[in-house]
Structure 1
Amino acid sequence: MTTYKDIGVDKAANYVGTIEIRRPPHNYFDMSLIQQIATAMEEFDKDDGVRAVVLCAQGKSFCAGANFNEPARDNAGENDVGGQPVNHLYQEAVRLLRTKKPIVAAVHGAAIGGGLGVACAADFRVTCPEARFAANFTKLGFHPGFGLTVLLPELIGKNQAELLFYTGRRIGGEEATRIGLASVCVPQDQVRAEATKLAAEIAESAPLAIISTRKTMRGDLADRVKAATDHELKEQTWLRGTEDFKEGVKATAERRVANFKGR
């Protein structure tokens, strides 16, 4: 099995695999992290000893999105490690969505921006009242990314997704469960165990039938996300050069309301 830098990978006797994000406390993502998760999932796809996967995280947050205050990170739409301006991050996101086995995300803390995208790439989300979910892109003067313009409406409906996109508001685990963004809400210290329980229940079903049914249910989701991320990246690229984006990032870092100028 591949050795990973930022994730832990394990599998249990009950046919449940585990991928743990290990960038505490907030588990900010970049191309490398998503690439590692996608590679681990592809390895699980080839392993008959894994029928369902739990995606979880160390630290305070599940995944607090991209850290715009660390320019060295290869964030969405930024240059690759080799300096080539390609949409590498979103290619890895689509790669993750093309994997075959069900994923249960254990969202014990914040899932923000692209981190919400990571959570929504899973089939199910187990969460807790203390968790926070936000598509906060417009609060940054930015366009939603990570395929969320497809993934979020798929889960909660178009108008509810528009509400979260346009306001950038944060909602807790109970509200996320009520609107269908999460499947189960339990006490915070039980999130991972409950996610593992759900994955084990899925793993009791016939594995070939699960893969076949999941393929039918997901349909062309990965292809639609690919098309969406191509468009998202174009919008993010020009918005990144605006004064509003600079103000949004600054205001977020300073924990204040942004003073946007529309330019």
Structure 2
Amino acid sequence: MDIEISREGMVGIVEINRPPSNFFDYELIKDIADTLDAFDGDSSVRAVVLGARGKAFCAGANFSNGPSKGPNIYDQALRIFSHRKPIVAAVQGPAIGGGLGLAMSADFRVTCPEGRFSANFARIGFHPGFGLTVTLPESVGAPNANLMFYTGRRFAGEEAVAMGLAQKLVAQDEVRQAAMALAAEIAECSPLGLAATRATMRRGLVERVRAAMEHERTEQMKLRDTEDFREGVRASAERRPAIFVGR
């Protein structure tokens, strides 16, 4: 199984299980969205923890066979943003590129010093995706979002909390437990009051993310056939600096 689904009390849990890097593809994002839809239909589930097995949360999209030209993965990603119950992401390691986008789809993020948050798209000759052009500046402000986009720099857990990328810092082996505790605290609230408040606080988010994803995908489609993107993916896989030529 590429995801593990479980429950503890009133908290539903979905965890990526593709170690070591937990790369995602269309099928994985669809599986997560399907699980969240099922949790939406279960009145006994009042909050959700989104996590991953192993040392990485999600190191981004799987480009091992080149960028996907199949079904639009953002159609499935948008379903995650449309989920009606609070989500706490347990980020115990790298959340890179689209993996950062997945983490930012949650309401809250719990992390650790080993957490790594990076919008590394420009470093591989690509354009940000997964709605990050909306969620990142809304969480950390435009200057910090631009710093992340323009440099591709990795921010550790302490920096992530200071910037507002994450809300709680604990030891790495306590991330899941701390995320569960926060989700359980949320689940103690009135489900009607909680749902109404969350709908108000996230009002218009899905529409903004939908528009952003349409633009993000258009830009990604332009860039995926460039020499720079091919070089960026190669360099990343070979763990070396990329040599970009601007075409």
Place the TM-score, normalised by the shorter chain, in its bin. Answer: over 0.9
Q: Which runs of 5+ in 2 are unaligned?
A: none
The alignment partner of 2:48 has SS state of strand
Whole-angstrom distance in 2 between the partners of 1:249 and 1:29: 15
Question: Sequence identity of aligned pairs in percent?
Answer: 58
Correspondence for 1:7 among 3, 8, 16 = 3
Q: Which moved more, 1:116-125 or 1:247-256?
A: 247-256
- Compute the displacement of 1:8 (Å): 1.2
Give yes or no for the alignment of 1:40 onto 2:35. yes
Give yes or no for the alignment of 1:217 onto 2:212. no
Aligned partner of 1:19 in structure 2 is 14
Whole-angstrom distance in 2 between the partners of 1:237 and 1:91: 15
1:29 partner amino acid: F
- Compute the displacement of 1:246 (Å): 1.2
Whole-angstrom distance in 2 between the partners of 1:217 and 1:130: 30
Q: Which runs of 5+ in 1 are unaligned?
A: 81-85
Whole-angstrom distance in 1 between the partners of 2:19 and 2:38: 24
Whole-angstrom distance in 1 between the partners of 2:30 and 2:177: 26
Aligned partner of 1:83 in structure 2 is none
- Compute the displacement of 1:179 (Å): 0.2
Aligned partner of 1:99 in structure 2 is 83
Aligned partner of 1:117 in structure 2 is 101
Whole-angstrom distance in 2 between the partners of 1:8 and 1:36: 10
1:66 partner amino acid: A
Whole-angstrom distance in 2 between the partners of 1:247 and 1:254: 10
- Compute the displacement of 1:249 (Å): 1.0
Cα deviations by residue, 1:6-43 (Å, 9 ceiling, x for unpaired)? 21111122x11111111111110011111111111111
The alignment partner of 2:117 has SS state of strand
Whole-angstrom distance in 1 between the partners of 2:239 and 2:8: 42
- Compute the displacement of 1:70 (Å): 3.0
> Size of the alignment, in residue pairs?
247
Whole-angstrom distance in 2 between the partners of 1:241 and 1:51: 43
- Compute the displacement of 1:251 (Å): 1.2
Give yes or no for the alignment of 1:251 onto 2:246. no
Whole-angstrom distance in 1 between the partners of 2:105 and 2:171: 23
Correspondence for 2:44 among 33, 44, 49 = 49
- Compute the displacement of 1:203 (Å): 0.5
Whole-angstrom distance in 1 between the partners of 2:114 and 2:53: 15
Aligned partner of 2:69 in structure 1 is 79
Whole-angstrom distance in 1 between the partners of 2:126 and 2:206: 23
Whole-angstrom distance in 1 between the partners of 2:219 and 2:141: 22
Task: Compute the TM-score of the two structures, normalised by the length of structure 1.
Answer: 0.92
- Compute the displacement of 1:59 (Å): 1.4
Query: Aligned-pair RMSD on alpha carbons?
Result: 1.0
The alignment partner of 2:137 has SS state of helix
- Compute the displacement of 1:242 (Å): 1.3
Aligned partner of 1:127 in structure 2 is 111
Aligned partner of 2:59 in structure 1 is 64
Whole-angstrom distance in 1 between the partners of 2:246 and 2:88: 40
- Compute the displacement of 1:254 (Å): 1.4
Cα deviations by residue, 1:124-171 (Å, 9 ceiling, x for unpaired)? 000000111100000000000111001111111111101000000001
Task: Compute the TM-score of the two structures, normalised by the length of structure 2.
Answer: 0.97
- Compute the displacement of 1:190 (Å): 0.4
The alignment partner of 1:56 has SS state of strand
Whole-angstrom distance in 2 between the partners of 1:254 and 1:20: 28
Cα deviations by residue, 1:90-122 (Å, 9 ceiling, x for unpaired)? 011111101100000000010000000110000
